[in-house]
Structure 1
């Protein structure tokens, strides 16, 4: 399968440029090796994800972690002819546990994560390995693919911008209505395997597990480096995700557990744009109003309030 070229932003100072000459000037060290950890329930999109790993310009091991062991035969047929390693969980453990098992099984110096409905650009591994270091967590820009497509994030993360609270304020900020001005997602992430073993994914979380993992990596001393190139296609609206059912209660519990690790305004943005929105969309009107009020009192950005109120329209539209 031949991948279509990705559109690249060109207007902003952070505009991504894919300099293929740079790939030759700075190539991965020979001792660095990489495994792509792909958690799955056996969706048909898995084949596309594995193919994107096998298309990498440096060799990468495709490690598929199946969280529905009863579908092993189906997955084997789906991936017939595609070199891969298949590992089975005990079943129904969730994406975080599947990723942890993949990290434990990998035999390479580095690991990267890929959701089974997403895909990598062929140069992703080479570019990220060229910047790899044991104290560095790597990410990149992505192309969101859906009814329309857009490059995210518009604003790259820079550690110096948020020295007081770190990456979590970057992730939770909702100061603009533009979708995904700030963006970090699992399929863009790569790190040293030993670090991923030391800081595992939280298997208890039902939502925001990728944001939480990046937060804890930051707290452990990892430096997040976000490359400006578009290296991932994130396919939106896929059905049957391995992630557990979205739950506004779980989101509220998570953000409240962060304490002083997050600024008051970032927390307020999250309470209004995520928790209140999802509560309203679930017709939990009292809870939605309560979290919206909390966000307003803490001076959430106006854009976050607008996003929160959009949950009311979701509920109304679902009921008509």
Structure 2
């Protein structure tokens, strides 16, 4: 039996500085690109935990085609959803800092290095996130819209808009557990809900440089209006007390809920739009969409889609 250990052995036995968690479900066509972007990082002291959420395609073969010893592969017997798969990945991690990646997105090579440097310089930071490039077909845009982001009051900015993309987020594990991790009951906006809870108890920092390329792929839940509505209602249920303290936020959330109801074919959303308009009558968005709601749900959706095309 070998009992002598070299310095190299000791380095290998130390926990990596950061654990990267990728949940995936039937994304074999995109997963390899995502994994390569992590393995190509300039910061190399990490472990990569791929949580296969009961895929039925060739996901396992894709992961095992990489020979890098930093990769761990965990296949789940039952599909639990992205939020719980991430929670499971954090539970498997050996590092005190966690980074999240999505199976259809790409990191820029310096992503981890820049985020880890931030956390290393400031022990008071609970986490950090960055801008990202959103790619949808031939259209590209930098997210989030910084005109609506106030770094001096990140909590209120989080309550207003979803400004954190999960693949941009690097967080201390103790803070992640302190806020309870991802809400596995939410099919959508788990990142937004987590960011709200994080910003309420912890200091966060935003990097303006886009360090992630987020690809909108076929089958993405982001196009599901019903999931959009249910997630909004869940976030308001959890954070409504904080939202309603600000008249502007209250008006914004009346609009969000009314808009989602109308796009789902529920005309009761018109009353919420009217209440939003009376609380913020200078918003041209509220005026235009309230007037369009007078033509029924189909008329509302037509105007909404037209405005969306103009914005894009």
Report Cα offsets for 1:248-292 as digits up to 9, x if no partner. Answer: 1441242143133122322322332x43333222222x2321332
Greater helix content: 2
Counterparts of residues 104-119 of structure 1 (less than 5 Å): 104-119=91-106
CA change 1:68–1:295 in 2 (3 A) is farther
- Aligned: 1:52 with 2:37: yes
- 1:239 corresponds in structure 2 to 219
Which residue of the other structure, out of 188, 198, 201, is the alignment partner of 1:217? 198
1:237 Cα offset (Å): 4.6
Cα distance, 1:116–1:291 mapped onto 2, change above 3 Å = farther
Rounded to whole Å, the distance in 1 between the matches of 2:223 and 2:100 is 14
Larger Cα-atom Rg = 2
Q: Which residue of 2 aligns with 1:67?
A: 53
**Gap regions ≥5 residues in structure 1:** 1-29, 175-181
Q: 2:140 corresponds to which residue?
A: 149
The residue number in structure 2 matching 1:276 is 258
* Matched ranges for 1:23-34 at <5 A: 33-34=17-18
Structure 2 CA distance for partners of 1:46 and 1:305, relative to 1, 3 Å? farther
- Say if 2:258 and 2:273, in contact at 8 Å, map to a contact too: yes
Deviation string 1:162-211 (CA, Å, 9 cap, x unpaired) is 2xxx42x313547xxxxxxx732111100112222332111122332111
Structure 2 residue ranges without an equivalent (≥5): 1-13, 305-312
With over 3 angstroms needed to count, the CA separation of the structure-2 counterparts of 1:75 and 1:268, relative to structure 1, is same
Q: How does 1:91-102 map to 2 (within 5 A)?
A: 91-102=78-89
Which of 88, 103, 114 aligns to 1:127? It is 114
* Distance (Å, rounded) in 1 between the aligned partners of 2:48 and 2:299: 42
CA distance in 2, matches of 1:45, 1:241: 16
TM-score between the two structures when normalised by the length of structure 1: 0.74
Report the aligned-residue RMSD. 3.1
Find out whether 1:192 has 2:172 as its counterpart. yes
SS at match of 1:52: helix
By relative contact order (CA 8 Å, sep 6+), the higher-ranking structure is 1
Post-superposition CA distance 1:115-172 (Å, at most 9, x none): 2111110100000000113632100111111231122234284442x2xxx42x3135
Q: CA separation of 1:277/1:92 partners in 2, compared to 1, >3 Å: closer, same or farther?
A: farther
Q: Deviations over 1:92-114 (max 9, x none)?
A: 32211111111111111211111
* Contact 1:103/1:196, CA 8 A, preserved across alignment: no
Question: How far apart are 1:226 and its partner, in Å?
Answer: 0.2
